[in-house]
Amino acid sequence: MGMKTLGRHLVVEMYGCRSDLLGDLSLARKSLNEAVEACKATFMGEHYTMFPGGGVSGVIIIAESHISIHTWPEHGYIAIDIFTCGEHIDPWKAYEVFVKNYSPSRVNVMEIRRGVVEV
């Protein structure tokens, strides 16, 4: 009996982003949808929220788990999670979309293996 991993989860921290981009709900929505397309995931549903302080939150549920974004314009900071399962999905393709759209000056990414199970 062997082991396999069901999913991969990129925990992405982006710093030094332009504040005006981080308050832009349509950019967040565009980025999430582009990210889903880039990694060839399957869109299932989405939800977005804008906050009084100017930050935005968004998540897309994909057939392969989820991709989410939360922004803090006052800190130039974005928290992104790219959680995908399945062997044909490359979460790093989704990651590249956010780098392109937000041009962070500093990034920290942790890749976590989710669901280590017996097969």
Catalytic residue among 65, 66, 75, 105: 65
**Is 85 tagged catalytic?**
yes
Question: Token pair for residue 115?
Answer: 């669901």
* Nearer CB in complex with its own copies: 59/99: 59
| Cα distances (Å, whole numbers) of residue 96 to 17, 49, 103, 119 | 15, 23, 10, 32
User: Which residues of this chain interact with its own copies, rule CB under 8 A?
Assistant: 6-7, 9, 11, 13, 15, 44-49, 51, 57-59, 61, 63, 65-66, 68, 70, 72, 75, 77, 79, 81, 83, 85, 110, 112, 114-117
CB of 45 to its own copies, least distance (A): 4
Active site residue 17: no
**Start-end of H helices in the chain:** 19-22, 25-38, 91-102
Residue whose CB is less far from its own copies, 37 or 51: 51
Q: How far apart are CA 73 and CA 68, in angstroms?
A: 16
65 is known as an active-site residue: yes
Q: How many CA atoms lie within 13 A of 26 on its CB side?
A: 0
Task: Give the nearest distance from C-beta 66 to its own copies in angstroms.
Answer: 6
Give the type of residue at 68: S
How far apart are CB 63 and its own copies at their closest, in Å? 7
Looking from the CA of 61 toward its CB, the CA atoms found within 13 Å total: 4
Which sequence positions are flagged as catalytic?
A: 65, 70, 85
